[in-house]
Amino acid sequence: MVSLTINGKTQQFDVPDDMPLLWVIRDMAGLTGTKFGCGMAQCGACTVHVDGAPLRACVMPVSAVAGKSVTTIEGLSADASHPVQRAWAELDVVQCGYCQSGQIMSAAALLKAKPEPSDADIDAALSGNLCRCGTYQRIRAAVHRAAELAKG
């Protein structure tokens, strides 16, 4: 049994210790907003926050995060009102959308650490998140916009 708090809800999961957090979130907790893309921390589609820090859930054994607090895209805000989500909507970032949960979670973590990120900060924080639709330019602009929105 592993105990996890996902989006504020503490749950027990009867899973092997080495099961990646991603599959606990998707197949056990039934939260499908966090995506499977590569299984080796190359694409970032599975990015979630663990105790506030961004983490690739596809390579993280669930035992390593036992007892910790996990936030997924579904828990980022109750009503898509997080500044990153608002900026993404404003700049019409998404295309196929598959990578965007991970992009948004990486961007939200960046803004928490650096409220006014530079382009270099964005490169550093988001180069681990692939987008085959090529929305990078809008993502960059939306991160800057989210920083403005967060200031209110």
Partner 1 sequence: MKTAAGTSRRNFLKTTALGAGGLVVAFFVPGANRLAQAAPAAADAAAPFAPNAFLRIAPDDTITVLLAHSEMGQGIWTSLPLLLAEELDADWSRIRVEHAPAAPDYFAVGMPMQFTGGSMSTWTEFERYRRAGATARALLVQAAARRFGVKAADCRCENGTVIAGDKRARYGELAADAAKLTPPKTVTLKDAKDWNLIGKPHKRLDSPEKLDGRAKFGMDVQFEGLLTAVVARAPVFGGTVASFDASAARRVPGVRDVVQVPSGIAVVADHFWAAKLGRDALKIEWNLGPNASLDSERLHGDFLKTATDAGLPASVAGDATAALVKAATRIEADYAVPYLAHAPMEPLNCTVKIDKDHCEVWTGTQFQTMDQAATARITGLKPEQVTIHTMFLGGGFGRRATPTSDFVTEAVEVAKAAGKPVKTVWTREDDIRGGYYRPAFVHRVAVGLDAAGKPVAWQHRIVGQSILGNSPFKMMVRNGIDATSVEGVADSPYLKQIADHHVSLHSPELGIPVLWLRSVGHTHTGFVMESLIDELAKAAGQDPLAYRRTLLAEHKRHLGVLELAAERAGWGTPLPAGRARGLAVHESFGSFVAQVADVSIDNDAIRVHNVVCAIDCGIAVNPAGIVAQMESGIVFGLSAALFGRLDIVNGRVQQSNYHDYRVLRMNQMPKIEVHIVPSTDKPGGVGEAGVPPVAAAVANALFALTGKRQRELPLRATS
Are 97 and 104 spatial neighbours (Cβ–Cβ below 8 Å)?
A: no
Q: Which of 96, 113, 91 is nearest to 105 (CA)?
A: 113
Q: Minimum distance from CB of 121 to partner 1 (Å)?
A: 11
Residue the block writes with tokens 């009102």: 81
Q: Minimum distance from CB of 152 to partner 1 (Å)?
A: 20
| Residues in contact with partner 1 by the rule CB under 8 A | 15-16, 19-20, 23, 26-28, 30-40, 42-43, 45, 72-74, 76-77, 80, 85, 88-89, 92-101, 104, 122-124, 126-140
Residue type, 27: D
Residue the block writes with tokens 């820090």: 53
Q: Minimum distance from CB of 78 to partner 1 (Å)?
A: 9
Are 83 and 150 spatial neighbours (Cβ–Cβ below 8 Å)?
A: yes
Q: Return the ∠ at Cα 130 (arms to 37 and 74), rounded to 5°.
A: 65
Nearest residue (CB) to partner 1, 30 versus 152: 30
Nearest residue (CB) to partner 1, 90 versus 148: 90
Q: Minimum distance from CB of 131 to partner 1 (Å)?
A: 7
